[in-house]
Amino acid sequence: MASLQQQIAEKFLAALVEREEIDPAQIAELRQLLGRGKKPKADDFTQVFTTPRGGVVK
């Protein structure tokens, strides 16, 4: 089946790795969000973008 969505997601995440403004923890969360099979909502992304650098205490 078409993997255009996956190709775009990979290209997108690879571009983010090159941007120092983006924390690796955020990139990891985005990867999970885009790969979970459910359509991500704006609130899902908002939560990722407001994650402090280095992640949160769990």
Q: Examine residue 7 and tell whether it contacts other proteins (CB under 8 A).
A: yes
Binding residues for other proteins, rule CB under 8 A, total: 30
Among 24, 35, 40, 55, binds other proteins (CB under 8 A): 40
Cα distances (angstroms) measured from residue 44 to each of 2, 9, 15, 28, 48:
25, 16, 20, 14, 7
In the complex, which residues of this chain contact other proteins (CB under 8 A)? 1-2, 4-5, 7-9, 11-12, 15-16, 19, 21-23, 26, 30, 34, 39-46, 49-50, 52-53
